[in-house]
């Protein structure tokens, strides 16, 4: 009877270890979404394949979002010439006038869209907490998810590594 328990315990441990290893090595494909920028132009996330992409969910009412925004701008400017793109997604509950005013007054240099129906947030795993940021590699796979403001030094190290990889 004890031998059966040992065998079952070893089998269970092996299954958990295998699942954990797969979870650490598998990358989820980023969802394919369509979105409209503040200028009215229509885009698809698939058009960003071949670039390293940062997708940032935020709101004008989120103090952490407002605090991190200058760092996001600096990050975008630092890496955009190297094949990096930023997609800033304003949450559905954010008043459109506030988003437009913020983006224009701060002259945000990256793509800004309003997720008016919450479809983009749902497609990224039902994002509800802001800020939430995803980093995608050139193949369109999610390689990192940050809930709250990222450590920008670590983020920059990750971006440099991803930008150096071939598509």
Give the model confidence (pLDDT) of 12-65 as tens digits.
444 433 333 334 445 799 999 999 999 999 999 999 999 999 999 999 999 999
pLDDT for 166 = 81
The answer, as to whether pTM is greater than 0.95, is: no
Q: Is the pLDDT of residue 6 over 70?
A: no
| Domain range 28-164, CATH architecture | 3-Layer(aba) Sandwich (3.40)
Q: Is 76 helix (H, G, I), strand (E, B) or coil?
A: helix
Q: Quick: pLDDT tens for 68-107.
A: 999 999 999 999 999 999 999 999 999 999 999 999 999 9
Query: What are the residue boundaries of the structural domains of the chain, listed by start?
Result: 28-164
Q: Which residues contact 146 (CB under 8 A, 6 or more apart)?
A: 131, 132, 133, 134, 135, 155
CA distance readout (Å), 42 to 58, 91, 149 = 20, 18, 28
């Amino acid at each position: 009877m004890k031998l059966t328990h040992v065998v079952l315990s070893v089998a269970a441990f092996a299954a958990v270890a295998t699942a954990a290893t797969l979870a650490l090595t598998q990358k989820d494909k980023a969802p394919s979404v369509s979105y409209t920028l503040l200028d009215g132009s229509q885009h698809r996330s698939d058009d960003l394949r071949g670039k390293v992409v940062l997708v940032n969910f935020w709101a004008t009412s989120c103090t952490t979002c407002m605090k991190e925004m200058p760092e996001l701008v600096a990050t975008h400017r630092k890496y955009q010439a190297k094949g990096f793109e930023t997609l800033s997604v304003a949450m559905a509950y954010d008043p459109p006038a506030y988003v437009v005013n913020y983006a224009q007054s701060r002259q945000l240099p990256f793509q800004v869209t309003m997720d008016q129906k919450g479809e983009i947030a749902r497609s990224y795993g039902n994002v509800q907490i802001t800020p939430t940021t995803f980093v995608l590699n050139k193949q369109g796979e999610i390689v990192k998810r940050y809930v709250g403001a990222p450590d920008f030094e670590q983020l920059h190290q990750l971006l440099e590594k991803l930008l150096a990889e071939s598509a």
